[in-house]
Chain A
Amino acid sequence: MTIAEIENEIVEEFEMFDDWMQKYEHIIDLGKSLPMIDEKHKTEDKIIKGCQSRVWLHSELIDGKVVFTADSDAIITKGMVALMIRVLSNQTPDDIMTAKLEFVEKIGLTQHLSPTRSNGLLSMIKQMKLDALAYKNKLV
């Protein structure tokens, strides 16, 4: 699936929820299902430091596509991270770099991407795009 298709799928998924509680419960569930990063990659240099919750991000290039795995010490952040991975993992570096990630606004979770939220998510997206750029340069 393309990034746009996955984004649409997530938007439809979130449209089923009537209130914030169901939405957050879903994010928490997503957090619990996140493909865990291999423990050996949970090192200091893989930490994306937010002010409050920490995010570990690892990437590999497999068959021309970037595969991300990640973890966080906070479950809501982990759920948001899981959404990002669902959208951006297994995509080409070019597609990752140009992804606008509009689904976040559509599902009403923009506040999680505000710089004041201090959950490291914004920095994580930046890092995912930087990783993609690095792989693209390698491929050329």
Chain B
Amino acid sequence: MTAPKISPALLNIEAIRADFPILSRKVNGKQLIYFDNGATAQKPQTVIDVIDLYYKNQNANIHRGVHTLSQEITVAYENARTTIQKHLNARHAHEIIFTSGTTASINLLASSFAKKHIQAGDEIIISAMEHHSNILPWQQVCEEKGALLKVIPINQEGELLIDEFEKLISTKTKIIAVTHISNTLGTINPIKEIIAIAHSKNIPVMIDGAQAVPHTGVDVQALDCDFYVFSGHKLFGPTGVGILYGKEKYLNELPPYQVGGGTIKTVTFEKTEYADLPLKFEAGTPHISGGIGLAAAIDYIKNIGLEKIAAYEHELLLYATEALEKIAGVKIIGTAKNKASVISFSVEGLHPFDIGTILDQLGIAVRTGHHCTQPLMQFYGVPGTIRASFAFYNTKQEIDEFIKGLERTINMLK
């Protein structure tokens, strides 16, 4: 596991934890230990305040009214777009499309991209470690269009086989959609390399950044990725909001996905002229508090510093990995050299569901199951795994408690 250069000692974890009200609550009579950040992250007070203020003092519809409230909130919402643009280092604010989340972003892209570019016999490449959300939309497109879905294989460590990837590319390949960081294995994929290979054959690439944005900064221009998608709620923002970043040239040529209010310039019963980016893809009243809440979350983590966050989480990952490896019967699934702070494991002879149930009684929240990556579970031959995923507000003391709890759980179940 490659270590980031910044010293993790630079974070004031106590102060950070105080920013997250939920972290002080009790679950089943025990102090909550929240290790399910891969499913959704907790929200800092600043994000909660922004949402609260919106409904108390700012609520109006955007892009419509001439009245003051509408003007104010339109400015705030568009400022949020700019915050996200700057965070991703996108060239233009209109390359940032608000959606309801990663799943919606991929559905939008798959549907619109297929309408424009996919024909019978074409090929789409994904990887063996994709979340169902980055499999199903493409699978459906393939079924509809008679196209072929190809899958980049992985090794036992849970790393993509880049040589095999290159062999999968053909003149029929129309788009490549891979995850930046695996939600199940924690593997950080070499997306820059993947994008460069794809671009050498003029194939656009979509990166699923749902698990990456909470752990690392993303520079879409440096990566040169054509599309990048993520959810707000895993990035310490509200649920129900997400982003589709796309290069202007691609977004301009794609047809709208959902149509309706806000997406148009002129409408007659004979013909509609659609609005320019980004509104072309933003039908209906958006999740306004979600958009401004997401921007507040980005401001919050930027203020802490993504490099410091990555360094600290890496330390948590190493600490937990080492402790888990000492427990008899524990097998870590996903041992890539480059990993984010996500650990999946199984315990010999025990079902993940049982372990998750007992840990819950101890106030410890982990994820158990197939993590919406059933093909990956089939690859490893397990019904599911237990997954602990850490955020920068987690601590080594919590990991100690978790390890103690896990040992107790195993004793109970054996």
Contacts and interface: CB of A to CB of B under 8 A. Distances in A.
Interface of A: 20-21, 24-25, 28, 51-54, 73-77, 118-119
B353 A77 contact: yes
Given A20-B28, A73-B351, A118 B413 contact: no
Question: In which size bucket is the chain B interface?
Answer: 10 to 19
Interface in B367-413: 368-370, 383-384, 412-413
Given A20-B28, A51-B369, A52-B369, A25 B412 contact: yes
Given A21-B412, A25-B412, A52-B384, A75 B351 contact: yes
A68 B412 CA distance: 28
30 contacts: A20-B28, A20-B361, A21-B361, A24-B357, A24-B358, A24-B361, A25-B412, A28-B413, A52-B352, A52-B353, A52-B368, A52-B370, A52-B383, A53-B351, A53-B354, A54-B383, A73-B351, A74-B353, A74-B354, A75-B354, A75-B413, A76-B353, A76-B354, A76-B357, A76-B358, A77-B351, A77-B353, A77-B354, A118-B369, A119-B353
A71 to B, nearest CB: 12
Contacts of B361: 20-21, 24
Nearest to B349: A75
Nearest to B358: A24
Interface in B324-368: 350-354, 356-358, 361, 368
A20 B384 CA distance: 25
Interface centre among A51, A73, A76 (most CB of B within 10 A): A76
A100 to B, nearest CB: 24
Nearest to A25: B412
Contacts of A52: 352-353, 356, 368-370, 383-384
In the A-B complex, the 5 residue pairs with the smallest Cβ-Cβ separation, listed nearest first, are A74-B351, A74-B353, A52-B353, A53-B353, A52-B369
A77 B353 CA distance: 9
A28 B351 CA distance: 12
Contacts of A119: 353
Interface of B: 28, 350-354, 356-358, 361, 368-370, 383-384, 412-413
Contacts of A54: 383
A113 B358 CA distance: 16
Nearest to B352: A52
Interface centre among A20, A21, A28, A52 (most CB of B within 10 A): A52
Given A52-B356, A73-B383, 4 more contacts: A21-B412, A25-B412, A52-B353, A76-B357
Contacts of B369: 51-52, 118
Contacts of A75: 350-351, 354, 413
A73 to B, nearest CB: 6
B413 to A, nearest CB: 6
Contacts of A73: 351, 383
A123 B354 CA distance: 18
A113 to B, nearest CB: 13
Nearest to A31: B354
Contacts of A24: 357-358, 361, 412
A74 B361 CA distance: 17
Contacts of A20: 28, 361
Interface centre among B354, B357, B384 (most CB of A within 10 A): B354
A19 B413 CA distance: 16
Given A20-B28, A20-B361, A118-B369, A28 B353 contact: no
A67 B161 CA distance: 52
Interface centre among A51, A54, A73, A74 (most CB of B within 10 A): A74
Contacts of B350: 75
A82 to B, nearest CB: 14
A40 B135 CA distance: 35
Contacts of B353: 52-53, 74, 76-77, 118-119
Contacts of A53: 351, 353-354
Contacts of B413: 28, 75
Contacts of A77: 351, 353-354
Contacts of B356: 52
Contacts of A76: 353-354, 357-358
Nearest to A119: B353
Contacts of B358: 24, 76
A52 B351 CA distance: 9
Contacts of A28: 412-413
Contacts of B354: 53, 74-77
Interface centre among B351, B356, B369, B413 (most CB of A within 10 A): B351
A83 B139 CA distance: 42
B264 to A, nearest CB: 40
A51 B369 CA distance: 8
Contacts of B412: 21, 24-25, 28
